[in-house]
Amino acid sequence: MAKEQGRKVVASNRKARHDYIIEDTYEAGIALMGTEVKSLRMGRASLIDGYAAWRGNELWLEGVHIPEYIQGTWTNHTPRRRRKLLLHRSELAKIERKSSESGHTIVPLQLYFKDGLAKVEIAVAKGKRQYDKRHALRERQDNREAQRALSSKGRAQA
């Protein structure tokens, strides 16, 4: 069987970009059980409540829901178990330095397969205030209206 090529997104956390100001992103491997990989290959996962936390010198992904594999037996995994993130020591040091600052957290943005290996894109992020969210939403609406006005103006001249 040929090895998979490219990137196949399994789950993404769009709400994270709304709730946080993303400062840095990192690609990390995940230590998974066999039934978790099979469940991910079926495209089943949720990053909504996910976050990363330090346990000693290691970074762990918590709150990510990977449902049990349907054809699994007694070897099946627990859906919300803690999973170890696999990063280089220098990356871990950078993440630890930035996440220790006040108001910063580590959130998963995407879960995907890259060349057949399960990866997660994590971000060091700072929480947005409510007024920041409203401002970003208003800015997006203004841009959309301006684009609409420009495109309708172009059609009227033609």
Confidence of residue 69 (pLDDT cuts 50, 70, 90): confident
Express each pLDDT in 101-149 by its tens digit.
Answer: 888 899 999 999 998 888 999 999 988 777 777 888 888 899 999 888 8
Give the burial string for 55-77 (b: 16+ CB within 10 Å, else e): eeeebbbeebebbebeeeeeebb
In this structure, the number of other CB atoms found within 10 A of the CB of residue 108 comes to 26
The residue extents of the domains of the chain are 7-127, 129-158
CB 32 within 8 A of CB 60: no
* Third-level CATH fold of 7-127: Small Protein B; Chain: A; (2.40.280)
DSSP class of 48 = T
In this structure, the number of other CB atoms found within 10 A of the CB of residue 6 comes to 9
CB 105 within 8 A of CB 127: yes
User: What's the whole-number mean pLDDT along residues 45-59?
Assistant: 88
Query: In the structure encoding, which two tokens stand for residue 138, read together?
Result: 């208003």
